[in-house]
Amino acid sequence: MSNPFLEAQAEPVRVIESIPVAGGARLSPETVATELIPTPTHLVVSPEVARGGMGHVHPATDRNLLRHVALKRLDKDFASQPFYRDGFIAEAQMNGQLEHPNIVPVHELAIDPNGIPYFTMKFVQGTSFDVWLHDHPPGSIDRLQLGIEILLKVCDAVAYAHHRGVVHRDLKPGNIMVGDFGQVYLMDWGLAKLIRGQPQSADRAMMNAMGATGTPDYMAPEQARGNPKDTDERSDVFGLGALLFEILSGKRVYGSGSATALLKRAAAGEVLSIDAACEDVGVARRIRAVVEKATQPDPAKRYQTVSEMQDAMRAFLHGGLHLPRKTFSAGEIIVQEGDKGDAAYMIIAGHCRAYRTVDGREETLAVMGPGETFGEMALILFEPRAATVVAADPVTVLVLDQSTMNEGLGLSGWTGALVRALAQRFADLEAMVRSSGIRRG
């Protein structure tokens, strides 16, 4: 599927060694600690609302445009250290050149009277994705469907950044904002790295510094091992896969533990099994397979682009695999032979046994597992169930009812007529086989 944001031609993202200021002058990093540039009088800055490892975020008001903005400034203890100062400036410059609906726009970059760099950006009203996940329990339809839709928008932002030659390197729920009106923004480009084009020497040291980069819970193994030359677009694919892992299971891709323990597991590529992580919530195998491929320890075995991963997630959503679900205990009957068929089922966890009763005895027809369906013939042909299906162990199924079937397949039109004709032929053939088998018996 084409993406209009990726089809547009764009200049390579550049990181430079000076900051433009009023009057056409330029301020080099070496003069940041000594030159005093007045904070623009049109900004009214409020107390900080967030604090990171090296900076602070303040709400502010632009009195000229009558709008709220967010002001991010470097901690004063780091402002005199070129490594951190240059990194902060590079973040603002790269973020400012990434113009995309799912990336918060940067308005200005300047230095305050104390020599501390800051930049302003769009003020986002909403909640962080980690809070959103907390409010939507694993296994719920909203978490599965809406969570994937949110992640698809994050993928749009990441794919665009890759198109511009930038990898994010710190994808995690805390760096995603979900707006009150459906907006989704990928935040915090402080660890971003240029993979095409060359930053200036002052910034190259920051982007290519040896050591683990990112957040251990979500970083790719090559990031955890600490050689920046091994980091590319596929490292962000892993981060997106780790986010999808958490959406589906409620757990993190390396499990729980201290930052040191998680970093060690990440470096060793000790990724948890998504199948095991989803045992208690019941998630379709098709979307679990997306996680499995995206979080492969070997980058060559992952999706090679974000767009490939997006296509797989969209196919899952469009395939209706976010349908309502039901759970059944071992031994519980799901459909009864002879009952009217009003729904079809797809198994997403556990196993079922299908059987018919012949001369008072149960005749097992099949044992079915995740990904297999049953009940569709009775639903399409409006006939009684031809067999009983019982849960062999705890089972979770997706439920497809008559209205959803009609909507998805268009069964009220010619498509429905064709499907029913084919189903009737199979039913007639099955009846002939059963009749023949009884005579032979």
Selection from 376, 358, 383, 385 nearest residue 419 by Cα: 376
Question: Is residue 100 over pLDDT 60?
Answer: yes
Summarize the confidence of residues 216-237 as an average pLDDT: 93
Q: How confident is the model at residue 432 (pLDDT cuts 50, 70, 90)?
A: low
Residue where a domain terminates, one of 78, 102, 122: 122
pLDDT digits (tens, 9 = 90+) for 321-351: 556 778 999 999 999 998 987 788 888 889 9
Q: How confident is the model at residue 39 (pLDDT cuts 50, 70, 90)?
A: low
Q: How confident is the model at residue 8 (pLDDT cuts 50, 70, 90)?
A: very low
> Is 323 inside any structural domain?
no
| Best-predicted range by mean pLDDT (43-52, 226-235, 298-307) | 298-307
Q: Hey, what are 294's tokens?
A: 């995206």
Same domain, yes or no: 28 and 132: no
Summarize the confidence of residues 24-34 as an average pLDDT: 44
Residue where a domain terminates, one of 85, 105, 122: 122
pLDDT digits (tens, 9 = 90+) for 161-183: 999 999 999 999 999 999 888 89
> Is 366 inside any structural domain?
yes
Selection from 216, 212, 196 nearest residue 15 by Cα: 196
Domain range for 436? 328-440
Summarize the confidence of residues 140-153 as an average pLDDT: 92
Same domain, yes or no: 105 and 169: no
Same domain, yes or no: 156 and 289: yes
Residue that wins the pLDDT comparison between 152 and 95? 152
Asked whether the beta carbons of 220 and 228 are under 8 A apart, the reply is no
**Strand ranges (E), 94-196:** 106-111, 117-122, 126-128, 166-167, 176-179, 184-186, 193-194
Strand (E) or helix (H) holding 224: helix 221-225
Q: What angle do CA 290, 291, 292 make, to 5 degrees?
A: 90
Residue 6 Cα distances to 100, 312, 425, angstroms: 10, 18, 48
The predicted pLDDT at position 113 comes to: 78
The region of weakest confidence among 59-68, 256-265, 273-282, 408-417 is 408-417
Q: How confident is the model at residue 77 (pLDDT cuts 50, 70, 90)?
A: confident
Asked whether the beta carbons of 110 and 55 are under 8 A apart, the reply is no
> Is 158 inside any structural domain?
yes
All residues at 6 or more sequence positions from 109 whose CB lies less than 8 Å from its CB, including other chains: 19, 89, 92, 93, 96, 117, 118, 119
Q: Domain of 75: which CATH number?
A: 3.30.200.20
pLDDT digits (tens, 9 = 90+) for 78-88: 888 888 888 88
Q: Hey, what are 98's tokens?
A: 């990434």
pLDDT digits (tens, 9 = 90+) for 412-425: 554 455 555 655 56
d(C-alpha 290, C-alpha 278), whole Å: 13
Same domain, yes or no: 334 and 314: no
The predicted pLDDT at position 418 comes to: 52
The region of weakest confidence among 26-30, 135-139, 376-380 is 26-30
| Best-predicted range by mean pLDDT (1-10, 195-204, 212-221, 302-311) | 302-311
Summarize the confidence of residues 19-39 as an average pLDDT: 45
Residue that wins the pLDDT comparison between 4 and 129? 129
> Is 355 inside any structural domain?
yes
Same domain, yes or no: 110 and 32: yes
Question: Is residue 294 over pLDDT 60?
Answer: yes
Same domain, yes or no: 246 and 339: no
Q: How confident is the model at residue 48 (pLDDT cuts 50, 70, 90)?
A: confident
Same domain, yes or no: 203 and 305: yes
All residues at 6 or more sequence positions from 226 whose CB lies less than 8 Å from its CB, including other chains: 210, 211, 212, 213, 267
The predicted pLDDT at position 414 comes to: 47
Burial class of 238 by CB neighbour count within 10 A (0 to 12, 13 to 18, 19+): buried
Burial class of 39 by CB neighbour count within 10 A (0 to 12, 13 to 18, 19+): middle
Same domain, yes or no: 160 and 299: yes
DSSP 226: T
> Is 240 inside any structural domain?
yes
Residue where a domain terminates, one of 290, 318, 346: 318
> Is 17 inside any structural domain?
yes
Enumerate the active-site residues: 170
> Is 278 inside any structural domain?
yes
Same domain, yes or no: 157 and 288: yes
Number of folded domains in the chain?
3
Same domain, yes or no: 289 and 350: no
Q: Domain of 407: which CATH number?
A: 2.60.120.10
Q: Domain of 199: which CATH number?
A: 1.10.510.10
d(C-alpha 397, C-alpha 349), whole Å: 7
pTM over 0.75: no
Question: Is residue 28 over pLDDT 90?
Answer: no
Same domain, yes or no: 211 and 302: yes
> Is 133 inside any structural domain?
yes
Same domain, yes or no: 435 and 358: yes
